[in-house]
């Protein structure tokens, strides 16, 4: 008996260690939001110069699900995020948000739905094309204005004139930084779709569970009649 208990305890310890090791290895392979954001920053200017018929859409989905093993499902969500070149945005006991490349948005949703029972699902897309266009125009205008002020600064020879130009350049630099930040943010959200999974624990019926359920259904049927 003691030997059996010892073996059982060792098995549990081995499983726990293996699970912890797998999580560490898995976490190391997932990109952070900062890393993904830096990648999209390089392409944000390309998006500003998109063609007239191109649309920029931010895709998102919220899926309410039941899992028999929520902890195991959370690990699987990490793997799905990694598979579709994304990352974990946030992870709580009953709610996990991941981001995946928008080109794999539907594939990721289909794979997530295989992990448990879907109770509700909401998929949406926000068209930010006009906002993107407006930000691009404002950024271009601010950069051209800054260029003109730099030319004026190179020719200015009076202290008060130089101070006025420098003050205006400081304002423009702040405006340009703000616009670039908004463009990069929208660019990132357009390239990475967000999927939020709200998890509940499903109940697995045993043999007795099915017997009692059948008895309850029979009694309910008699009274309803």
Distance CA 114, CA 180 (A): 39
In b/e form, how buried is each residue of 148-157, taking b as 16+ CB within 10 angstroms?
ebeeeeeebe
- Closest CA relative to residue 129, chosen from 218, 64, 49: 49
Q: How many CA atoms lie within 13 A of 207 on its CB side?
A: 0
Instruction: Please state the rounded mean pLDDT for residues 25-48.
Output: 54
Reduced DSSP (H G I as helix, E B as strand, rest coil) percent helix, strand, coil of the chain, to 5: 65, 20, 15
Question: For residue 202, what are its two tokens?
Answer: 């499903």
Residue 94, pLDDT score: 86
Over the chain, what is the mean pLDDT?
A: 78
Confidence of residue 13 (pLDDT cuts 50, 70, 90): very low
For residue 114, the SS3 value is coil
Nearest partner of 36 among 179, 181, 191, judged by Cα: 191
User: Do 75 and 18 meet the contact criterion of CB atoms below 8 Å apart?
Assistant: no
Answer for the pair 89, 194: CB distance below 8 angstroms, yes or no. Answer: yes
Per residue in 141-199, pLDDT (tens digit) is 999 999 999 999 999 989 999 999 999 999 999 999 999 999 999 999 999 999 999 98
Neighbouring C-beta atoms of residue 44, cutoff 10 Å: 22
Distance of CA 158 to the CA centre of its chain: 53
């Amino acid at each position: 008996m003691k030997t059996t208990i010892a073996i059982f305890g060792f098995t549990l310890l081995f499983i726990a260690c293996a699970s912890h090791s797998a999580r560490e290895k898995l976490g190391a392979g997932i990109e952070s939001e900062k890393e993904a954001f830096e990648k999209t920053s390089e392409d944000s200017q390309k998006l500003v110069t998109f063609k007239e018929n191109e649309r920029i859409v931010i895709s998102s989905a919220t899926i309410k699900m039941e899992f028999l093993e929520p902890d195991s499902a959370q690990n699987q969500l990490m793997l799905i995020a990694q598979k579709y070149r994304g990352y974990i945005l946030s992870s709580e006991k009953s709610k996990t948000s991941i981001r995946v490349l928008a080109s794999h948005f539907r594939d990721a949703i289909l794979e997530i739905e295989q992990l448990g029972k879907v109770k509700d699902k909401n998929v949406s897309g926000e068209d930010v094309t006009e906002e993107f266009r407006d930000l691009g125009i404002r950024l271009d205008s601010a950069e051209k204005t800054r260029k003109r002020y730099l030319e004026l600064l190179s020719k200015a020879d009076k202290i008060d004139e130089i101070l006025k130009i420098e003050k205006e350049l400081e304002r423009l630099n702040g405006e340009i930084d703000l616009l670039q930040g908004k463009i990069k943010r929208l660019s990132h959200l357009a390239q990475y779709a967000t999927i939020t999974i709200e998890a509940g624990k499903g109940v697995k019926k045993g043999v007795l569970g099915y017997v009692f359920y059948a008895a309850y259904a029979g009694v309910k049927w008699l009274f309803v009649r």
